[in-house]
């Protein structure tokens, strides 16, 4: 698994003096993203609904082998005022905001035929409206800064293909991809807005969902690259999108899925041939 011990030596992103907010940055993909920016030298603020002990927050070692830790803000991002409070807390503490990564999201399995209106509204609010609320607050700060800023929305391949069992989630992620394109036009040239659509990523949640190592291995075998992505993989792409190397990239959807899903017809043909 890739690490970011030498992130500043990669030349992709020097986060010295930069301030980054990563929503949902205490676990899974978000934690990996937060650790990537910390290792690159940035000040990082993470948030979540559940308070996290300081010793469990994302950390990384800088070039002097000093441990650096993210700052935590408690918030339910489905509430616009609380979403704005996360951005305000980052600016109050560090005086600026350079990058927002809208990572918070997700959904449990649910049969669309019987999912309650409250459930569906909550899933859409977390995966679509929360990124909008955070982005609105971040944009207000970034437009007033000389260098502007960058926003990266973490979407999913579920927004690009059918998402049976998580229909509301897939629809919300599709909306997030479209929202990215619209905001990129409205907020240019000061603020670049891009999207990262993640495929299968190895996290504790994925391990539980696919039934442990054996299930994970079986699913990984369906990916052309032969493995799940890692939080560090996603972090590297966020670093790129926030860096000067992506200075002419806005309104884009970067799909990171290891080559996608093997077409079902190929498997069917192979079975017939056998």
Respond yes or no: is residue 173 known to be catalytic. yes
Respond yes or no: is residue 135 known to be catalytic. no
E-state strands within 75-170: 99-102, 149-156
Catalytic position from the list 107, 133, 163, 173: 173
β-strands 67-69, 59-61: how paired? antiparallel
Q: Do the beta carbons of residue 116 and residue 95 sit within 8 Å?
A: no
Q: Tell which residue, 151, 105, 149, 148, has the closest CA to residue 124.
A: 105
The DSSP string of 174-187 is: HHHHHHHHHHHHHH
Q: Tell which residue, 17, 19, 14, 8, has the closest CA to residue 150.
A: 19
Catalytic position from the list 135, 156, 197, 243: 156
**Angle in degrees, CA 44, 45, 47, rounded to 5:** 145
E-state strands within the chain: 19-23, 43-48, 59-61, 67-69, 71-74, 99-102, 149-156, 191-198, 253-256
Cis peptide leading into residue 30 (ω within 30°)? no
Respond yes or no: is residue 169 known to be catalytic. yes
Report how far apart, in Å, the C-alpha atoms of 15 and of each of 7, 41, 42, 214 are.
9, 4, 4, 38
Catalytic position from the list 120, 163, 169, 197: 169
Report how far apart, in Å, the C-alpha atoms of 245 and of each of 190, 217, 240, 241, 256 are.
16, 34, 7, 8, 18
Between CA 47 and CA 56 the distance in angstroms is 13
Catalytic residues: 156, 169, 173
């Amino acid at each position: 698994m890739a690490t970011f011990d030498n992130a500043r030596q990669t030349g992709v992103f020097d986060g010295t003096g930069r301030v980054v907010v990563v929503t949902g940055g205490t676990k899974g993909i978000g934690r990996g993203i937060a650790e990537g920016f910390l290792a690159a030298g940035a000040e990082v603020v993470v948030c979540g609904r559940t308070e996290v002990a300081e010793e469990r927050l994302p950390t990384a070692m800088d070039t002097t082998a000093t441990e650096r830790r993210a700052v935590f803000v408690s918030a339910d991002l489905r509430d616009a005022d609380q979403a704005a409070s996360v951005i305000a807390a980052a600016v109050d503490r560090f005086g600026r905001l350079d990058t927002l990564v809208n990572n918070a999201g997700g959904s449990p399995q649910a049969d669309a035929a019987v999912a309650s209106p409250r459930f569906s509204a909550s899933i859409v609010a977390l995966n679509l409206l929360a990124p909008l609320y955070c982005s609105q607050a971040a944009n207000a700060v970034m437009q007033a800064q000389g260098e502007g800023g960058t926003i990266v929305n973490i979407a999913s391949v579920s927004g690009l293909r059918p998402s049976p069992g998580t229909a509301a989630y897939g629809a919300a992620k599709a909306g997030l991809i479209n929202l990215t394109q619209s905001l990129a036009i409205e907020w240019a040239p000061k603020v670049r807005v891009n999207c990262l659509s993640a495929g299968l990523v190895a996290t504790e949640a994925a391990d539980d969902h696919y039934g442990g190592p054996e299930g994970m291995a079986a699913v990984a075998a369906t990916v052309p690259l032969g493995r799940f992505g890692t939080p560090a993989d996603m972090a590297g792409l966020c670093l790129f999108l926030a860096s000067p190397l992506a200075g002419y990239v806005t309104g884009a959807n970067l799909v990171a899925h290891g080559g996608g899903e093997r077409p079902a017809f190929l498997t069917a043909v192979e079975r017939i041939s056998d």
